[in-house]
Chain A
């Protein structure tokens, strides 16, 4: 496979540029919004904080947390998607498409509906539970039958599970209009109005997930060549897969817990990144973190600006961009 960056220096340079772009995007995310705030004020908020200024208050309590959360969620989803694509050798893998997000969302809605749970840290636990169980079931179903696991079977199993789980979610929402009112914006996937303390509750899980992922990046590269190859090279594939699964569930589950189900970030980013850095997951994963963050932060900006003053949930934006990409992959890139 050809890659755009062909030396180690270029790779590092590219990563540095990406970080710069991310910083710029986050600055823009803080700058744009319902209340007009200039770039100078944004910088002054950090250099010279004034507790009485309304603008400083907006920036500190609303805009900055939102940008950070968008970046973290984007990074988590992109890394989860990259690991899933490597592990299953399925170019269409994504926490949304393979049903993990739908499982997490069902668990959260179920927790709100049945137990009246309302704290985010409990959301996160239910999201992990739902996401984890769904991941196992989809993987099991996708590898059932003759020929073992194939990308097609896995994707279809994921879509079937998404259909199954979201119809159960809808069922619960019909039975209880109050839950619907509370949760429908969350259910579309949004990073608006999230407090920084909420982020702190799930931050440890995200960090553990990211560290685990980066830790096994070398093994994932080997595994992406095939189970047999990896086993032949002396890898204990079972362990690697188990760790990867834990990382994926932690990352996707945390993302769903904070922001609701946001699809297609995990699908698009690894493909984009692979175009630049090739097939080595030691580069794909760090790049995915940064580029995933860039994508979600800019999607969030777009979601705020497209229908001003209305805000579109960012999950709808990513689906409208990502689903055509999915169709493109299925149509032109997948050989029968």
Chain B
């Protein structure tokens, strides 16, 4: 019965706009959101000072509890961290889904087109060259690094038009340059600072507070709606430039805007938590297995999947060798890499 109700499509019309909504995507989206929420609550509850999930919910909602420590532990220490994890995953996954859709290549992601490498170079340079500078300057530096690479990328790749494949190839080249400079820093830095820099490079949400949430959230509030709104253009662009032009798309403008959104999302995520690997690769793949290739459903589902992945990775990283914490970026790489291969293998079998 339920399965039947959630199948099929619904049309929403109102004024100038009409949307076709795939009910299955809505169903998957709701289920995944619930799972992600559960993940956040469990993540907040687990730790040196365990708190049961109902108490976590009560504390978050502001209901008075017997134990006065709960408020500090939950609302000040753990909740912002879990939220940052979720939001970072969300942004990375959206960024990856856009790039994969634009290039029609399942291996495209901000990880390989130099955006992460640019952010990494800026942050590592700051850590190694100016060890005395406050850690608060790392996120803006990383953001600037990512944006500089993205701007160079678009400038160099522009040849009267922008070909997504060319963008990726040139991005790989720029990434290599930034990577070489990062290696240079890592080779010559003091070993202690280099370790710090490496932790940042793998991505970690350790010690993130409401400040990070506050500086990250505006980016999401601006760009996520644009991306969701433009998802149908992503479908048209995915048919190839000629077809898209024939269907009346303003190809360059739409593509430029989508790439801009993708870069902004990736850059803000990387600035907040470092380069958490593989989320941008994996989340869109999982989403595609769940709801198919239509970007209207794919983008929101990828976003929730991405968020859930990072929350889960952080949970595993905090608990598996407790009290030693492993950065969540390591967990996403170690679990993500083989899973990524498996997904690619699966999708090759389907074809």
The interface of chain A, by Cβ under 8 A from chain B, is 92, 96-97, 137, 141, 144-146, 152-153, 155-157, 159-160, 162-165, 167-168, 170-171, 173-175, 177, 180-181, 184-185, 187-188, 263-264, 310, 312-313, 315-316, 319-320, 322-324, 326-327, 330-331, 334, 336
List B311-351 residues whose CB lies under 8 Å from chain A. Answer: 326-327, 329-330, 333-334, 337, 340-341, 344, 348, 351
- Least CB separation from B337: chain A residue: A164
Size category of the binding interface on chain B: 35 or more
**Cα A144 to Cα B351 with chains together (Å):** 9
Please give, as numbers and ranges, the residues of chain A lying within 8 Å of B202 by CB-CB distance: 167, 170-171, 174
**Cα A137 to Cα B342 with chains together (Å):** 12
Whether A180 lies near B194 (C-beta < 8 A) is yes
- Least CB separation from A326: chain B residue: B173
Of the candidates A160, A322, A331, the one whose C-beta lies within 8 Å of that of B112 is A160
Given contacts A157-B107, A167-B202, A330-B173, 15 further A-B contacts (CB under 8 A): A152-B165, A155-B169, A162-B112, A164-B333, A164-B337, A167-B277, A168-B333, A175-B330, A187-B183, A188-B186, A264-B176, A316-B187, A324-B173, A327-B156, A330-B166
**Cα A92 to Cα B351 with chains together (Å):** 27
What is the distance, in angstroms, from A216's C-beta to the closest C-beta of chain B? 28
- A-B pairs with beta carbons under 8 Å apart, 15 shown: A92-B169, A153-B105, A155-B172, A162-B112, A170-B198, A174-B327, A177-B195, A180-B195, A188-B183, A313-B187, A319-B176, A323-B174, A327-B156, A330-B166, A336-B166
- What's the dominant secondary structure at chain B's contact region? helix
What is the distance, in angstroms, from A57's C-beta to the closest C-beta of chain B? 27
Whether B278 lies near A167 (C-beta < 8 A) is yes
**Cα A176 to Cα B322 with chains together (Å):** 17
Please give, as numbers and ranges, the residues of chain A lying within 8 Å of B333 by CB-CB distance: 164, 167-168, 170-171
**Cα A173 to Cα B329 with chains together (Å):** 13
What is the distance, in angstroms, from A41's C-beta to the closest C-beta of chain B? 31
What is the distance, in angstroms, from B276's C-beta to the closest C-beta of chain A? 9
Please give, as numbers and ranges, the residues of chain B lying within 8 Å of A334 by CB-CB distance: 166, 169
Whether B105 lies near A156 (C-beta < 8 A) is yes
Q: Of residues B108, B169, B198, B341, which shows the largest number of chain A Cβ atoms within 10 Å of its Cβ?
A: B169
Nearest 8 Cβ contacts at the A-B interface: A319-B180, A330-B169, A327-B173, A160-B107, A323-B176, A171-B330, A167-B277, A326-B173
- 1/0 per residue B169-187: CB within 8 Å of A? 1101111110111011011
- Least CB separation from A261: chain B residue: B183
Whether A160 lies near B281 (C-beta < 8 A) is yes
**Cα A163 to Cα B199 with chains together (Å):** 16
- Least CB separation from A96: chain B residue: B176
Of the candidates A153, A156, A168, A181, the one whose C-beta lies within 8 Å of that of B337 is A168
- Least CB separation from A92: chain B residue: B169
Please give, as numbers and ranges, the residues of chain A lying within 8 Å of B172 by CB-CB distance: 97, 155-156, 159, 326, 330
